[in-house]
Amino acid sequence: MTPSRHFALIPAAGVGARIGADCPKQYMPLAGKLMLVHVLDTFASCAAIDHTYVVVSKEDGYIDEALAGAKHLADRVTVIHKGGATRHQSVLNGLQAMRGTAGDEDWVLVHDAARPGLTGELIEKLIAAISDDPVGGLLALPVVDTLKRSDAEGRAEATVPRDRLWAAQTPQMFRYALLRSALEKASEVTDEASAIEALGLKPKLVEGSPRNFKITLPHDVALAEMHLKGKP
């Protein structure tokens, strides 16, 4: 039996409007290189990853220049110009473009382009924890803060129990055929695990790292740079 392979799929078709940059946030410079290149480098340097696919919009005017400055990625990364209006559609379009390359039982690790703090160690931890799992899983962090539910006026009206609550991260790792089928059947979802859950399955939660956070707002940039430069 042929061993399952591992492919990375990076949806990178968003514009990142909330960060207020003059380009899509995945192309912002961060600790010496572009945010997206940090992500691609991490997957390219991981021996367990056979190949990486990045999904960008049809009108993307940045990716060619980004990869021209990272020639070492030429044989490790394939660009798919079929990004959709949502993450859901971009990932599904990417999976459809991978048909014929990825087998049904191969693993796909979907990762946010705006999480440059991912490390090879985290990828390897996820793969080791999920490799024999019948469903798949994702990196996540147990919620440690007290959670409040607000009313319409922004006042706390209830404290939400945090027992067994986790904050989802990426990569989210599932078999190619299962993930594609789940996304084809799902209504709009914000992550891949939600589509798997809609099938009645339970993805495995693997503890990630605080450094693997998603850059969303301007102040996130400085914190990400501290992690990438190795500062405490």
Tens-digit pLDDT profile for residues 26-52: 999 999 999 999 999 999 999 999 999
Predicted local distance difference test score (pLDDT) of residue 188:
85
Torsion of CA 128, 39, 94, 88, to 10 degrees: 90
Answer with the residue of higher pLDDT: 135 or 231: 135
d(CA 83, CA 39): 18
Q: What is the pLDDT of residue 18?
A: 54
At 45-82, the pLDDT tens digits run 999 999 999 999 999 989 999 999 899 999 999 999 99
The pLDDT of 83-111, averaged and rounded, is 96
> According to the model, what pLDDT value does residue 134 have?
97
228 — pLDDT class (breaks 50, 70, 90): confident
Selection from 123, 98, 97 nearest residue 40 by Cα? 123
Residue 230's pLDDT band (cuts 50, 70, 90): confident
Dump pLDDT digits (tens) for 164-187. Answer: 999 999 999 999 999 999 999 998
Residue-level pLDDT at 23? 81
For residue 143, name the pLDDT band (cuts at 50, 70, 90).
very high
pLDDT at 63: 94
Scan for tokens 């207020």, then name that residue.
20
Q: Facing residues of 42 across strands?
A: none
Element (H, E) at 52: strand 51-55
Q: Identify the band that residue 222 occupies on the pLDDT scale cut at 50, 70 and 90.
A: confident
Which tokens sit at 124? 């390897």
pLDDT (0 to 100) of residue 232: 47
What domains appear along the chain, each with residue ranges and CATH number?
6-228 (3.90.550.10)
Is the pLDDT reported for residue 20 higher than 60?
no
pTM of the model: 0.93
Residue 102 has pLDDT above 80, yes or no: yes
- Using only the alpha carbons of the chain, give its radius of gyration: 18
Look at 51 and 220; give whichever has higher pLDDT: 51
Phi, psi of 96 (to 5 degrees): -65, -35
- The span from the CA of 40 to the CA of 73, in Å, is 8
Q: Check whether 19 has a pLDDT greater than 60.
A: no
229 pLDDT band, cuts 50/70/90, is confident
